[in-house]
């Protein structure tokens, strides 16, 4: 029997009933041992429950919930946000294994940051809040030690989109360009880069990118990484090719958005947990 304490952090109960049904189906039976709201959790002894199911987590954000739980001395290994349970492929033991895995996601754009944020995983990679061109990302992957040890150099402020009216810093690592799109200053971006690159777990990497080029896919597929994922809008026999039909998600404007919406949980094409834990391609829908 799985003993569950409900922790209400917002009025959003959209995922609650579904989450309880899934947990009940996976564990044979569940027992609700109590409910709390806000910081009432601070006064409770969480040893009486197996899971603290956070209700309304989607409204607050999983990463913020995990951070708040840490400050309130709630055991992190007991926290489970209600918006994670309905994700295809979820099983409590898989999620706990993922939390303990110390995974680093190295990605060409914000994919790693989005997916880590959605699942409440720490950023163990500097590839957060930035993007690289396909060719520059491949350069980095061919010689990661060299580029990680290269001192970042400021190039310029760029203003490519209306979304960033004040521009953002363009930073170079030798001949590789980092577009630091979610940072205001060069100093801020480099501080984040240096802080997060120190957290990389070289023993558990997932390397991800996307492309619409078969040549880029072939070069990526030849790289010597154990877990590598390249999302493509065409079918391929390459081991690292993860096909996504670009027409499946009607709300996506282009293939970049197709991939980003997957990493944010808006449209799930594959089992996220199998992908992150094993690099295993387990389809969640028919494409």
Region 42-69: mean pLDDT is 86
The pLDDT score that the predictor gives to residue 4 is 97
Of 57, 56, 64, 61, which Cα lies nearest the Cα of 12? 56
Query: What is the rounded average pLDDT of the residues 88-98?
Result: 96
Mind listing the pLDDT tens digit for each residue in 130-186?
Answer: 999 999 999 999 999 999 999 999 999 887 666 666 789 999 999 999 999 989 999
Mean pLDDT taken over the chain: 93
Q: How far is CA 15 from CA 20, 28, 57, 77, 148, in A?
A: 9, 20, 9, 20, 41
How confident is residue 30, by pLDDT bands cut at 50, 70 and 90? Answer: very high
| Extents of the domains making up the chain | 2-86, 91-125+199-287
Domain 2-86 fold is: Rossmann fold (3.40.50)
Q: Does residue 161 or residue 24 have the better pLDDT?
A: 24
């Amino acid at each position: 029997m799985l003993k569950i304490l409900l922790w209400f952090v917002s009025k959003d109960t959209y995922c609650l009933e579904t989450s309880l049904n899934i947990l009940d189906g996976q564990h044979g039976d569940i027992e609700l041992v109590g409910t709390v709201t806000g910081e009432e959790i601070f006064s409770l002894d969480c040893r009486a429950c197996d899971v603290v199911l956070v209700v309304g987590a989607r409204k607050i954000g999983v990463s913020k919930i995990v951070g708040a739980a840490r400050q309130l001395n709630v055991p992190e290994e007991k926290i489970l946000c209600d918006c994670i349970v309905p994700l295809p492929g979820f099983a409590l033991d898989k999620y706990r294994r993922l939390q303990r895995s110390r995974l680093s996601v190295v990605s060409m754009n914000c994919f790693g940051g989005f997916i880590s944020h959605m699942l409440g995983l720490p950023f163990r990679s500097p590839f957060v809040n930035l993007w690289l061109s396909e060719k520059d990302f491949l350069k980095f992957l061919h010689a990661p030690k060299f580029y990680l040890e290269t001192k970042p150099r400021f190039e310029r402020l760029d203003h490519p989109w209306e979304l960033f009216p004040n521009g953002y810093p363009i930073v170079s690592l030798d001949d590789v360009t980092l577009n630091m799109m979610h940072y205001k200053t060069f100093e801020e971006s480099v501080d984040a880069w240096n802080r997060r690159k120190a957290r990389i777990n070289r023993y558990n990497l997932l390397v991800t990118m996307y492309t619409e080029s078969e040549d880029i896919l072939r070069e990526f597929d030849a790289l010597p990484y154990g877990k590598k994922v390249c999302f493509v809008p065409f079918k391929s026999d390459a081991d690292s090719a993860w096909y996504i039909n670009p027409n499946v998600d009607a709300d996506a404007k282009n293939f970049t958005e197709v991939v980003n919406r997957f990493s944010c949980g808006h449209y799930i094409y594959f089992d996220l947990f199998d992908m992150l834990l094993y690099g295993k391609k387990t389809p969640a829908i028919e494409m």
